[in-house]
A and B are shown apart, each in its own frame.
Chain A
Amino acid sequence: DGGITQSPKYLFRKEGQNVTLSCEQNLNHDAMYWYRQDPGQGLRLIYYSQIVNDFQKGDIAEGYSVSREKKESFPLTVTSAQKNPTAFYLCASSPTGSSPIQYFGAGTRLSVL
């Protein structure tokens, strides 16, 4: 089946620890995105990538890092510099070009121990 797979579904982080959230897509999309969702709020863009080996910061990139070594994969690392990491993290992908629809994964819920 084509789609976007995020793992793990739930993740716990200890203070001072870096954790990495996985996002894989088999839709052959060039663009991929990471969003953060806090309770009762909309999604906010963390990072996005329009092409392999290139990525750009979104509105709330501080404390996060990404890589895009392969077209199918766009992992997000939540570093120890992110002081309030508890949130629901959503990965998306889309074709490039005008007015593409974004397709979303099922999300990873990150909590701090």
Chain B
Amino acid sequence: KQEVTQIPAALSVPEGENLVLNCSFTDSAIYNLQWFRQDPGKGLTSLLLIQSSQREQTSGRLNASLDKSSGRSTLYIAASQPGDSATYLCAVPYQTGANNLFFGTGTRLTVIP
């Protein structure tokens, strides 16, 4: 069964710093990986989706990479801002062709002004 792990569980950085969030998965036979953001007590917002054929995907200050062979993905946030403070979750599909997602436990990010 797929397991998705995110380390660290929590991270605090000063404003302006660049940072990297990590996501690892045990079954490399995935066909995409998604990164989500969750604000406290709220639902999830999709940030980036990387197809298995891609190595990275960018949106604004966010860059996500995917290395299927090593079972790892990273989310890079450039020039962090206090508004980036949230929990970031990665997720992979249950199985090829399925839309259900396995979620990691998330990294809670705090950007200190």
Contacts and interface: CB of A to CB of B under 8 A. Distances in A.
B25 interface: no
Contact of B32 (A44, A96, A99, A104): A99
Interface of B: 4, 9, 31-32, 34, 36, 41-46, 49, 51, 89, 91, 94, 97, 99-101, 103-106
Contacts of A103: 46
5 contacts: A35-B103, A42-B89, A45-B100, A98-B31, A103-B46
A85 to B, nearest CB: 18
B99 A102 contact: yes
The 8 closest A-B pairs by CB, nearest first: A42-B103, A104-B43, A104-B44, A43-B103, A42-B105, A99-B32, A106-B43, A101-B46
B101 A45 contact: yes
Interface string A47-65: 0101000000010000000
B42 A106 contact: yes
A105 B43 CA distance: 6
A59 to B, nearest CB: 9
Contacts of B32: 99
Contact of A42 (B4, B41, B42, B43): B4
Contact of A99 (B4, B31, B94): B31
Interface of A: 4, 6, 31, 33, 35, 40-45, 48, 50, 58, 88, 90, 92, 94, 96, 98-107, 109
Contacts of A45: 94, 100-101
Contacts of B99: 31, 48, 50, 94, 96, 100, 102
A27 to B, nearest CB: 13
A99 B51 contact: yes
A88 B43 CA distance: 10
B31 A42 contact: no
Contacts of B44: 43, 90, 92, 102, 104
Contacts of A104: 36, 43-45
Contacts of B49: 99, 101
